[in-house]
Amino acid sequence: MSSTRYTEAHEFARIDGDVATVGITDYAQEQLGDVVFVDLPEVGKEIKRGDEIAVVESVKAAAEVYSPVSGEVIEVNSDLEDEPAKVNQDAMNAGWFVKIKLADSTENQSDMDDDAYKAFIAAL
């Protein structure tokens, strides 16, 4: 069973077993506007929670994306190289950034769950 956790910087980590699918939330892509470029890390890169894992460029701004988990990048969403707009179209699914083999599957348990994140963005 997978579970999704969210950071205050609007990154998500969907945990399924010992792998986290990481990206930005729908709220984050709305704030950025039309995404025109995504710079992703190399497969095999070791990541610590809080490390920069991607840069997203939109028509409005460029933003760094930080990892909510630690581990090794085992896959990147190469579709985003040719179709960065997938982030706008479906940020939480087709627009994911990286998959990380977790160093610690409990590391992000203090991040927000679905209900807490909904309340967080409603208060912004």
Number of domains into which the chain is organized: 1
Domain that holds residue 91: 2-103+112-122
Determine the 3-state secondary structure of 96 from DSSP. coil
For tokens 């950025």, what's the residue? 32
To the nearest whole percent, how much of the chain has pLDDT over 70?
A: 98
Going 87 to 93 to 94 to 97, the CA torsion angle's sign is positive
CATH code assigned at 25? 2.40.50.100
pLDDT in tens, 73-96: 999 999 999 999 999 999 999 999
Q: What is the pTM of this model?
A: 0.95
- Using alpha carbons, list the distances in angstroms from residue 36 to 13, 17, 24, 33, 93: 23, 32, 15, 9, 18
Q: Kindly state the DSSP code that residue 84 receives in the 8-state scheme.
A: T
